[in-house]
């Protein structure tokens, strides 16, 4: 499970953790010596692309630097897999556009070409022709009449489909309009353009997997996780498995190549973890994936760590198939103080959670949480990236072996740097006292909320006997994120947090509460196109929580809409009452999960999380657009080079290469192993 950045607020960082050295220099001094790199390196449409630093890499021992290097290569090799998973024709479209973009001989400053560049950037960023967040197909701002001849001139050679179909895919709005359609009552499988299913209906998929599931297995296999479900010529439904020799074999072969190199420099436990993963990629055996996860979750010693594989199921309307992702990181030991305190107190948090005691974990096992520095992002973590990750996802492994939870501080640091002074708080936060608290405690509050969400929230609670998980179907992700967020919100405002030294005062919680409610009920709609519903599960969960608390607290005026100078503001009047409401909702959401109460879960989501008031939506978009802030951010990766001496690798050098277009073209050349159609 992942956490994405929850707020869009600009916060002034009090520089503590990683940059003491550079921050102590005065700005003018730094500028005079060395022109500082801007944090925002590209802007287009609703996107800004940032860079991130990797503090501490230079100080790693050479073996760990090499391990990072090999794992980083492996993290880049699956990029094409994700493109293909997102939509069957993504690689075809991307390659045709790249051909035209690189070979184009006419005026590159002409409006149509500039529009093509923008469209291609959006595709690179979203890993496909559908928006990474709203899932809607992009609308090109150049004409078919201009584009069509260019295909024949520059892109025909590598084209795997006919030119007409290519143009239909790009220009026909009725074709493949959404990557992920989870609207109530539709056939989510046939109505979603993602490439996890082909030629099958939702009903057929559900029946297929219902037959496979062994309800008495205490260690249930995550059936369907690593395959596409389709029909053969005779109409028989079968799984096309993503493994060496199966679907995506060419890319998987490269991933294995680099993982083997990584294994050769890894030590002890970590070596067997990497080897288990390699074996899983070779066989496609999901039992082997479980074995890998159990080994991985048990390793708390290795300084360098990684994620590589088919992990998260957010991209599948039925929440079963996992998208490919990669991430390489190492521990930020200074910042780990925070998460160490949280995990040391994990049992206390569980025992005092505002949920039915029957659904509390009797013994919290193996909660490990770290603050990490990422060194490489790949697949579904790139260019848009989470700020927190909690794995593995299989419930039974989490219950028996625990889970590993990380928050990524060099990413949140970059976000904050890039957002400083953008005018957001002034525009949307009404009260000066709220603004002051957000300014002083915003970063700490966000970090802690992420820590609590990831370290404890997802891992907390247990299912009632006989409940397997999966009963909540398409509402699973939203309700699970709701549960984890509520856990974090509830405890952030607990006196215990002061007692154990995590926060100086409850003002930290107030900063988070005011921000969270405003985001959930208003500012996050800046990310949704006018007229559309909220679809993404993290956004749905925030809206659900905020709207539910607003309604339940209405009679006591806990949360209030205020109109001033024609603008709408949402303010929290009673923080204590709000915290009690978080507790009440957590009680109910835990009950829903623990008992698998699909109907109650469906109702919560449909009533509170989906529909946006159109008048408010329009206002938010207008005010947001005036500020000129792009609502979505992502990153370019740094690069690493091997330093050789007398034929031996003696060091690995960090290289900051910060150009989005160059990086995308380089990746499409160097790390593109799949055919256009798979």
Q: Which residue has the tokens 């984890």?
A: 484
For 478-536, the DSSP string reads: HHHHHHHHHHHHHHHTSHHHHHTTS-SSTHHHHHHHHHHHHHHHTGGGGGS-TTPPP-S
Site string for Zn ion, 213-252 (x = CB under 5 A): ----------------------------------------
The residue among 472 and 484 lying less far from Zn ion, judged by its C-beta, is: 484
The residue among 239 and 325 lying less far from Zn ion, judged by its C-beta, is: 325
Size of the site for Zn ion (CB under 5 A): 4
The residue among 3 and 594 lying less far from Zn ion, judged by its C-beta, is: 3
Region from 161-169, 474-482, 584-592, 595-603 binding Zn ion, contact rule CB under 5 A: 474-482
Region from 25-33, 343-351, 481-489, 570-578 binding Zn ion, contact rule CB under 5 A: 481-489
Q: What are phi and psi of 258, to 5 degrees?
A: -75, -35
Window 104 to 143, contacts with Zn ion (CB under 5 A): none
What letter does residue 57 receive in the DSSP assignment?
S
Alpha helices in 104-141 (DSSP H): 111-126
The residue among 5 and 51 lying less far from Zn ion, judged by its C-beta, is: 5
The residue among 3 and 373 lying less far from Zn ion, judged by its C-beta, is: 3
Q: How far is the CB of 316 from Zn ion (least distance, A)?
A: 17
Site string for Zn ion, 429-458 (x = CB under 5 A): ------------------------------
Across 345-459, where does the E strand assignment appear?
Answer: 367-379, 388-391, 403-408
* Contacts of 365 by beta carbon, 8 Å cutoff, 6+ apart: 399, 400, 401, 402
The residue among 345 and 403 lying less far from Zn ion, judged by its C-beta, is: 403
The residue among 435 and 593 lying less far from Zn ion, judged by its C-beta, is: 593
Region from 241-249, 473-481, 578-586, 614-622 binding Zn ion, contact rule CB under 5 A: 473-481
Window 495 to 514, contacts with Zn ion (CB under 5 A): none
- Nearest-angstrom CA–CA distance, 574 and 552: 13
Window 602 to 641, contacts with Zn ion (CB under 5 A): none
- Nearest-angstrom CA–CA distance, 261 and 274: 10
The residue among 383 and 386 lying less far from Zn ion, judged by its C-beta, is: 386
Q: How far is the CB of 453 from Zn ion (least distance, A)?
A: 6
Q: How far is the CB of 633 from Zn ion (least distance, A)?
A: 18
Q: How far is the CB of 612 from Zn ion (least distance, A)?
A: 22
CA-based nearest residue to 205, from 217, 194, 220:
194
The residue among 302 and 477 lying less far from Zn ion, judged by its C-beta, is: 477
Q: Is 17 in the site for Zn ion (CB under 5 A)?
A: no
Q: How far is the CB of 222 from Zn ion (least distance, A)?
A: 18
Site string for Zn ion, 369-408 (x = CB under 5 A): ----------------------------------------
Q: Is 82 in the site for Zn ion (CB under 5 A)?
A: no
Region from 149-157, 348-356, 467-475, 477-485 binding Zn ion, contact rule CB under 5 A: 477-485
Nearest-10 Cα torsion for 398, 590, 134, 170: 60
* Contacts of 573 by beta carbon, 8 Å cutoff, 6+ apart: 557, 558, 559, 560
* Contacts of 570 by beta carbon, 8 Å cutoff, 6+ apart: 517, 518, 521, 522, 559, 560, 561, 562
The residue among 419 and 484 lying less far from Zn ion, judged by its C-beta, is: 484
Region from 152-160, 428-436, 480-488, 513-521 binding Zn ion, contact rule CB under 5 A: 480-488
The residue among 355 and 484 lying less far from Zn ion, judged by its C-beta, is: 484
- Nearest-angstrom CA–CA distance, 315 and 310: 11
Q: How far is the CB of 2 from Zn ion (least distance, A)?
A: 6
Q: How far is the CB of 540 from Zn ion (least distance, A)?
A: 12
CA 339 to chain centre: 20
Region from 2-10, 189-197, 353-361, 628-636 binding Zn ion, contact rule CB under 5 A: 2-10
State the helix-helix crossing angle for 598-608 and 476-492, rounded to 10 degrees: 70
Q: Is 484 in the site for Zn ion (CB under 5 A)?
A: yes
- Nearest-angstrom CA–CA distance, 336 and 341: 9
Residue 641's CB is within 10 A of a number of other CB atoms, namely 11
Q: How far is the CB of 486 from Zn ion (least distance, A)?
A: 11
Q: How far is the CB of 403 from Zn ion (least distance, A)?
A: 11
Q: What is the H or E stretch that residue 467 is in?
A: none
Name the residue number minimizing CB distance to Zn ion: 1
Q: How far is the CB of 150 from Zn ion (least distance, A)?
A: 43
Q: What are phi and psi of 41, to 5 degrees?
A: -110, -15
Q: Is 472 in the site for Zn ion (CB under 5 A)?
A: no
Beta-strand relationship, 323-331 and 367-379:
antiparallel
CA-based nearest residue to 572, from 541, 542, 550:
550
The residue among 226 and 390 lying less far from Zn ion, judged by its C-beta, is: 390
The residue among 484 and 636 lying less far from Zn ion, judged by its C-beta, is: 484
From the number of C-beta atoms within 10 Å of its C-beta (0-12, 13-18, 19+), residue 659 rates as: middle
State the helix-helix crossing angle for 660-670 and 90-103, rounded to 10 degrees: 120
Structure tokens at 211: 């037959």
> Between the CA of residue 425 and those of 399, 419, 435, 441, 634, what are the distances in Å?
41, 11, 7, 13, 21
Q: How far is the CB of 457 from Zn ion (least distance, A)?
A: 7
Region from 3-11, 249-257, 347-355, 395-403 binding Zn ion, contact rule CB under 5 A: 3-11
Region from 44-52, 397-405, 419-427, 479-487 binding Zn ion, contact rule CB under 5 A: 479-487
Q: Is 1 in the site for Zn ion (CB under 5 A)?
A: yes
The residue among 5 and 95 lying less far from Zn ion, judged by its C-beta, is: 5
- Nearest-angstrom CA–CA distance, 304 and 281: 21
Q: How far is the CB of 454 from Zn ion (least distance, A)?
A: 7
Across-strand partners of 198? 230
- Nearest-angstrom CA–CA distance, 123 and 92: 12
Region from 144-152, 187-195, 414-422, 475-483 binding Zn ion, contact rule CB under 5 A: 475-483
Region from 200-208, 239-247, 478-486, 601-609 binding Zn ion, contact rule CB under 5 A: 478-486
The residue among 443 and 449 lying less far from Zn ion, judged by its C-beta, is: 449
> Does residue 159 contact residue 81 with C-beta atoms inside 8 Å?
no
The residue among 39 and 415 lying less far from Zn ion, judged by its C-beta, is: 415
Reduce the DSSP state of residue 12 to 3 states and report it: coil
> Does residue 112 contact residue 143 with C-beta atoms inside 8 Å?
yes
The residue among 3 and 462 lying less far from Zn ion, judged by its C-beta, is: 3
Binding site for Zn ion (CB under 5 A): 1, 3, 481, 484
């Amino acid at each position: 499970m992942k956490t994405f950045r929850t707020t869009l607020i600009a916060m002034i960082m009090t520089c503590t953790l990683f940059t003491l050295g550079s921050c102590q220099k005065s700005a003018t001094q730094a500028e005079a010596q060395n022109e500082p790199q801007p944090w925002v390196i590209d802007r287009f449409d609703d996107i800004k692309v940032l860079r991130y630093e990797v503090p501490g890499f230079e100080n790693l021992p050479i073996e760990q630097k090499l391990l990072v290097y090999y794992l980083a290569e492996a993290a880049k090799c699956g990029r094409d897999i994700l493109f293909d998973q997102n939509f069957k024709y993504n690689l075809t479209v991307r390659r045709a556009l790249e051909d035209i973009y690189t070979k184009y001989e006419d005026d590159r400053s002409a409006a149509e070409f500039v529009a093509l560049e923008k469209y291609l950037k959006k595709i690179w960023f979203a890993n496909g022709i559908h928006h990474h967040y709203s899932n809607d197909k992009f609308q090109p701002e150049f004409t078919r009449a201009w584009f069509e001849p260019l295909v024949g001139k520059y892109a025909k050679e590598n084209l795997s489909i006919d030119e007409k179909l290519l143009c239909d895919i790009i220009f026909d709005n009725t074709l493949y309009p959404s990557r992920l359609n989870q609207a109530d009552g539709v056939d989510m499988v046939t109505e979603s353009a993602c490439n996890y299913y082909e030629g099958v209906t939702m009903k057929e998929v559900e029946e297929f997997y219902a037959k496979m599931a062994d309800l008495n297995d205490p260690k249930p296999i995550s059936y369907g996780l690593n395959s596409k479900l389709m029909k053969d010529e005779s109409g028989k439904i079968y799984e096309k498995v993503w493994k060496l020799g199966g679907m995506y074999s060419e890319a998987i072969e490269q991933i294995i190549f680099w993982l083997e190199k990584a294994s050769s420099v890894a030590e002890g436990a970590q070596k067997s973890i990497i080897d288990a993963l390699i074996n899983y990629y070779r066989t496609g055996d999901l039992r082997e994936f479980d074995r890998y996860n159990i080994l991985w979750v048990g390793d708390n010693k290795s300084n360098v760590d990684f994620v590589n594989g088919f992990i998260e199921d957010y991209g599948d309307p039925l929440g079963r198939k996992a998208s490919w992702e990669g991430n390489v990181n190492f521990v930020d030991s200074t910042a780990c103080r925070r998460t160490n305190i949280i995990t040391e107190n994990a049992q206390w948090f569980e025992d005092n959670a505002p949920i039915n005691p029957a659904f509390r974990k009797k013994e919290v096992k193996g909660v490990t949480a770290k603050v990490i520095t990422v060194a490489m992002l790949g697949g579904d973590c790139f260019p848009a990236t989470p700020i927190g990750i909690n794995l593995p996802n299989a419930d039974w492994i989490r219950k028996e072996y625990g889970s590993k939870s990380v928050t990524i501080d060099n990413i949140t640091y970059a976000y904050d740097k890039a957002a400083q002074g953008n005018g957001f708080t002034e525009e949307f936060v009404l009260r000066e006292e709220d603004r002051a608290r957000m300014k002083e405690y915003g970063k700490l509050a966000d970090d802690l909320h992420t820590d609590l969400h990831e370290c404890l929230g997802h891992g907390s609670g247990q299912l009632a006997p006989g409940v397997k998980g999966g009963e909540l179907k398409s509402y699973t992700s939203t309700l699970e994120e709701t549960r984890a967020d509520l856990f974090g919100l509830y405890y952030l405002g607990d006196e215990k947090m002061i007692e154990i030294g995590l926060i100086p005062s409850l003002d930290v919680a107030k900063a988070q509460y005011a921000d969270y409610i405003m985001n959930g009920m208003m500012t996050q709609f800046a990310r949704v196109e006018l007229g559309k519903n909220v679809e993404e599960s993290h956004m749905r969960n925030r809206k659900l929580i905020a709207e539910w608390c607003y309604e339940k607290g209405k009679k006591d005026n806990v949360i209030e809409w205020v109109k001033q100078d024609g603008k709408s503001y949402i303010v929290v009047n009673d923080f204590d009452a709000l915290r009690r409401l978080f507790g009440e909702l957590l009680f109910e959401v835990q009950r829903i999960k623990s008992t698998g109460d699909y109907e109650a879960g469906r109702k919560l989501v449909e009533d509170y999380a989906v529909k946006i008031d159109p008048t408010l939506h329009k206002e938010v978009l207008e005010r947001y657009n005036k500020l000129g802030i792009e609502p979505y951010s992502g990153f370019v990766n740094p690069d690493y080079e091997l330093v050789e001496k007398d034929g031996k690798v003696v060091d690995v050098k960090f290289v900051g290469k910060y150009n989005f277009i160059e990086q995308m073209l380089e990746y499409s050349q160097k790390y593109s192993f799949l055919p256009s159609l798979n």
